[in-house]
Amino acid sequence: MRSKVIVILAVVCLVAVGVYAALLNEGQPLPERYIQHEKAQHIEDLSAEDQAAASSTSTDPETFASHLPAISIDTGGQEIPGGPIYDENGKYLADENSVMIPSLAPDGSETIAANVKVFDNGQGANRLSNQADLESDCRIRIRGNSSRRYDKKNYLLTLVKEDGTDNDQELLGMDKCETWVLHGPGIDKSLIRNYLAYNIAGQYMDKFVPEIRFFELFIDGQYKGLYAAVESIKVEEGRLQVNPTDENTVATSYVVSIDEKSQSATTLSTFLNYTLRVGTYLDVVYPNEELLTEERREWINNDISAWEKSLFSYDYDTSDYGYWTTLDVSSFVDMYILNEFAINDDFGAYSTYLYKDLRGKVTLGPPWDYDNTFDNYQLETPVDEFYIVERAWYYMLFKDEEFCERTISRYRSLRQGVLSEDYLNTFIDETIDYLDAAIDRNWVVWGYTFQEDNHLKPEERQPASFEEAISDLKSFIHDRGAWLDQYIENLRQYSHESAVKKFNH
């Protein structure tokens, strides 16, 4: 009898675990993800000699040692293009839309040729005197929007062969590709917001979320600090996977981003743009410019406008024309929760991606650019508000009761797992523990920004130290989570009859 009870209890436990897993990821198995601080070597894994060297705050390339990977880029003394151009008054040049005009290489190119070496042996301290684990020619430029003006730059790195063609290579254990983003957390004084956001999202979203790895960067022998290598958003094996463009047809899979203030050959003016519901343009990321004929660009423009118009129509929630027939609803729910929780004020206006496989539905994502989140936006974002409910497509989605209920249920489930305060705080603590002396070396170079950086307004929001930056991040997570826990059901007000009666009748 006793053994029978044990068996029954065991079955009940297994069922409970299965139900919890289904709730956590809406029936999908959690995607496998390599999280660097959980898998990579820590400083205590090194020999005593290597530990002593890697614990030093020396940034001299001759004596530098780290348990983290290191990347060294040699430009031959060239200035890397893509930064701001300043006039005699110290004001950067901009176009009629106040968009910064980036500098170019002397030959007019956006990039320069350079050489890159990657040191990532995984079995001891990484030194620039070691044999490189990867060496390649490359092209490099400064990337970003407003971040181009910051002292600590972000770079776009493209690996190339001697003949200039793409050189697909693994980088820091990530899938082969030729194009990589080298993210320098400058305005993010915690150093870890992007690392936190991508890895949290990657544990509950069943779509592509960029992989990210910390490393320390040298350019022309000068230490540039703690950086993160991030997978760029490309249609390629191991990244975004959609059916490729057929040169013989106009219809195509596509990837677009909301980011552009001015029109160009790759921008779109869709329904939400010309009805003034969004103030920035959609920019075609895929197909690339070589495949993006004017006819194909117009087809993408019309396709997006068609489902946007349908979403904003009277029958947006009917069985024949409901938004779920066109949109991958789970991606819209998951992206909403991430961006609402972190208060990503740029979401829906900048750095926002969506894509459509020609044989599939419109998918929102991948997530991108979380430097300004978790209360690091230039203007204060109080924790006691909903921010994303009326952005772009969500204005209509939240008019539907089922979408509201699905979002509320998903949020509640995630708060029991990867969005719980305990999990997030542990994740932060373990990441800091992993980075160890690399944090101190970073502030040897960039410590002055605690006093000179006026990114946050009012100025008293600006952290005075790394410890204060981490404390601010944790405080925000606590306060934001507590408010959403109490008021998440209030999302129902946006689908209440009184809110939509006028619209529908």
For 376-407, letters b (16+ CB in 10 Å) and e give: bbeeebebeebbbbebbbbbbbbbbeebbebb
Q: How many CB atoms lie within 10 A of CB 129?
A: 10
Helix (H, G, I), strand (E, B), or coil: what is residue 492? helix
Query: What is the per-residue pLDDT for 498?
Result: 57
Query: What is the per-residue pLDDT for 295?
Result: 96
Query: What is the per-residue pLDDT for 408?
Result: 98
For residue 278, name the pLDDT band (cuts at 50, 70, 90): confident
According to DSSP, the residues that pair with 450 across neighbouring strands are none
Query: What is the per-residue pLDDT for 318?
Result: 86
Given a contact cutoff of 8 angstroms between Cβ atoms, the answer to whether 371 and 469 are in contact is: no
- Residues 464-474, mean pLDDT to the nearest whole number: 98
- Check whether 418 has a pLDDT greater than 80: yes
- From residue 294, give the alpha-carbon distance in Å to each of 210, 267, 290, 306, 405: 30, 11, 11, 18, 41
Given a contact cutoff of 8 angstroms between Cβ atoms, the answer to whether 275 and 269 are in contact is: no
CA dihedral 349, 351, 352, 354 (to 10 degrees): 140
Query: What is the per-residue pLDDT for 1?
Result: 43
Token pair, residue 127, equals 């030194």
pTM of the complete model:
0.91
For 66-99, letters b (16+ CB in 10 Å) and e give: bbbbbbbbebeeeebbbbbeeeeeeeeeeeeeee
- Check whether 37 has a pLDDT greater than 50: yes
Determine phi and psi for 24, rounding to 5 degrees. -65, -35
- Residues 375-383, mean pLDDT to the nearest whole number: 94
Query: What is the per-residue pLDDT for 276?
Result: 63
- Check whether 87 has a pLDDT greater than 90: no
Query: What is the per-residue pLDDT for 157?
Result: 98
Contacts of 11 by beta carbon, 8 Å cutoff, 6+ apart: none
Query: What is the per-residue pLDDT for 174?
Result: 96
Q: What percent of the chain has pLDDT over 70?
A: 92
Give per-residue pLDDT as tens, 320-337. Answer: 889 999 999 999 999 999
- Check whether 31 has a pLDDT greater than 70: no
Could you give the CA distance from residue 179 to residue 383 in angstroms, rounded to a whole number?
37
Q: If 0-12 CB within 10 Å is exposed, 13-18 middle and 19+ buried, where does residue 445 land?
A: middle
- Check whether 7 has a pLDDT greater than 50: no
Query: What is the per-residue pLDDT for 21?
Result: 42
Contacts of 170 by beta carbon, 8 Å cutoff, 6+ apart: 134, 176
Give per-residue pLDDT as tens, 484-502. Answer: 999 999 999 999 765 444 4
Listed residue (115, 103, 110, 119) closest to 76, CA to CA: 115
- Check whether 20 has a pLDDT greater than 60: no
- Residues 238-266, mean pLDDT to the nearest whole number: 90
Listed residue (235, 293, 223, 237) closest to 265, CA to CA: 293
For residue 30, name the pLDDT band (cuts at 50, 70, 90): low
- Residues 211-225, mean pLDDT to the nearest whole number: 98
- Check whether 8 has a pLDDT greater than 60: no
- Residues 6-33, mean pLDDT to the nearest whole number: 47
Listed residue (494, 201, 211, 487) closest to 342, CA to CA: 201
Could you give the CA distance from residue 27 to residue 169 in angstroms, rounded to a whole number?
34
Give per-residue pLDDT as tens, 254-276. Answer: 999 988 777 788 999 898 877 76
Query: What is the per-residue pLDDT for 199?
Result: 98
- Residues 455-469, mean pLDDT to the nearest whole number: 94
Query: What is the per-residue pLDDT for 11?
Result: 38
Contacts of 52 by beta carbon, 8 Å cutoff, 6+ apart: none
Q: How many CB atoms lie within 10 A of CB 318?
A: 11
Q: What percent of the chain has pLDDT over 90?
A: 76
Query: What is the per-residue pLDDT for 314?
Result: 85
Contacts of 497 by beta carbon, 8 Å cutoff, 6+ apart: none
Token pair, residue 13, equals 């436990």
Could you give the CA distance from residue 76 to residue 198 in angstroms, rounded to a whole number?
34
> What's CA 261's distance to the chain center, in Å?
20
- Nearest-5° Cα angle at 496, 478 to 338: 30
Determine phi and psi for 254, rounding to 5 degrees. -150, 155
DSSP state of 333: H
Q: How many CB atoms lie within 10 A of CB 220?
A: 15
Within 238-323, strands assigned E span: 254-260, 267-268, 281-286
Could you give the CA distance from residue 112 to residue 334 in angstroms, rounded to a whole number?
39
Could you give the CA distance from residue 289 to residue 140 in angstroms, rounded to a whole number?
19
Sign of CA dihedral 388, 391, 394, 395: positive
